[in-house]
Amino acid sequence: MIKAQRLAAATVRKVLSGASLTAVLQDTWHDHASLSEQQRGAIQDLSYGVLRFYGQLDTLLGLLLEKPLKNQRIRDLLLVGLYQLEYSKAAPHAVVDNAVSTSRELNGGSGFQGLVNAVLRNFMRQQATLLKRVAENEVGYYSHPQWWIDKVRIQYPKNYKAVLEASNLRPPMTLRVNRRKITLAEYQDRLRKNDMSAQPAGTDALELAQPVAVGRLPGFAEGLVSVQDAGAQLAAGLLDIHEDMRVLDACAAPGGKSAHLLELADVELTTLDIDITRVTRITRNFSRLGLTAHKIIHGDASQPMAWWDGKPFDRVLADVPCSASGVTRRHPDIKWLRRESDLFQFAARQREILHALWPTLSRGGKLLYATCSVFAEENGLQVKDFLHHHPDARLLPLSRPETIEGQLLPDSHHDGFFYALLLKA
C-alpha cells in the first residue's frame, strides 16, 4: 500500500500541475514496469478517487491544517490518505501507518511523520463534524470548481444538482454489440455463461452489472463487442444512414462511432482525424471488428480542400473537439484542468470545423453535430449561431425523447452529450 500511496500522490501532483491523468498513468506504468496488475489497479483507483473528490478533500484538508502546507508531496499524500479513510475499504489504522511510513520515504527519514499522523487521526475522530462543515462550501460539496458550478446552475436551474452529482459517480461499463456478428440477446447469454450479468441499455447496448477487464469479455478479440458509453452510441442512429450512402466521420478517432456506423449499414465511409497517433487506433479497431472503411485519412476537418475529393457526402458526423465536460466521471482530471476561458477557444474551433464541413454536404443531406459537453457555449448556442449564418440549414427534431433540446445530461447510466441534426435544404 505504501508504494500505491506514494505513486498515487505523485500522479495527483502532476495532474494538478497541468498534465492529463491518462498520460501520467501511462508514464507511471512505463517507469514502473514491475508493478503487478493489482498494484496498478490500486494506484489507478486512488488517483481517480482523489481527483473525483478533490474539491471535498482539499476543503477538508484546509480545515485540518492550522496553516497552509507548503510541501506539496506531503499535501498530496494527505489527500490520498483522506480519500482512503472516507471512501475505501482499507483498514483505517493501516491507512494511517502506511501514510506515516510513506512520508518518511518522501522526506529522507524525518520531518512530517507527526503531522501526517495527527491530521489523519484528527479526521478519524471528527469525521462527521468535519464532513458537515465541508458540505457548507459548494466546491467541497459538489467537488467541482466554483465557475463550473455557477455555469451549470445558470444553464440548468432545474437539473444542476443532478448533473454535478452524476458527474462524480463511478461510470458504468457499457458494451456495444456488433450486430454484424451476433445479436444482443445472444451476447447477453454469452455473458451469463461467463458469470457476468448485463442489462440492455439501448438498441445495441448492454450495461454490465460489474465492470471487468476488457480481456475477460467473451469474444472481444474476435470483434463481437466494443466498450462504448450508451450516450455515445446514440450518434450512429441519429445520423439516419442508409445503404450505399457516402458518409464522413470528420473527427473520428479512436473510431467507436465510425465502427458503429459500419455495423449498422453498408455505407461508403470516410474517416478523418487530425491526430496521426489516434488515426492508427481507428485502423486497429476496424481490424478487430472485421470492418472496412472506404478511406481513413489523417487530416484537419477545418481544411477540407486538403483532403476532400469534391464529391458531396450524404451524411456527415461532426463529433467536434470540446471541453469534455459531460464525461468527467470517466476523466475526473478534466474538472481541475479546464478553465472557463477554454470554452471560448473550443467554441472557436468548433465553429471553424462546422462552417468548413457544411460545403462538403450534399443538398438534402444531414449533418450531425455532436459534443461530449454540457455547456451551452459549445452546444445550443453554437448551433444557433450556425443557423443564423446558414439560411440553407434547418434543425431537425431528434428521435430521442431523453434529450433536452439535443442535450443528454449525465446520469447513472450514461455520460453527457449534445446532438443537433442539421438538414441542408
Between β-strands 313-319 and 246-249, what pairing exists: parallel, antiparallel or unpaired?
parallel
- Which three cell numbers mark 218? 467473451
Q: Catalytic: which of 372, 374, 409, 422?
A: 372
Q: Which DSSP symbol is given to 377?
A: G
Rounded Cα distance between 43 and 295, Å, is: 40
Establish whether the linkage from the previous residue to 359 is cis, with ω within 30° of 0.
no
User: Is 372 assigned a catalytic role?
Assistant: yes
Rounded Cα distance between 67 and 76, Å, is: 15
Q: Please state the length of the chain.
A: 425
Angle (CA) 392 398 403, round 5°: 130
φ, ψ (nearest 5 deg) of residue 248 = -120, 125
Rounded Cα distance between 295 and 28, Å, is: 35
**What is the Cα gyration radius of the chain?**
23
Q: How many CA atoms lie within 13 A of 36 on its CB side?
A: 6
Rounded Cα distance between 262 and 327, Å, is: 25
Angle (CA) 56 329 74, round 5°: 40
Rounded Cα distance between 248 and 380, Å, is: 22
Q: Mind telling me the catalytic residues?
A: 372
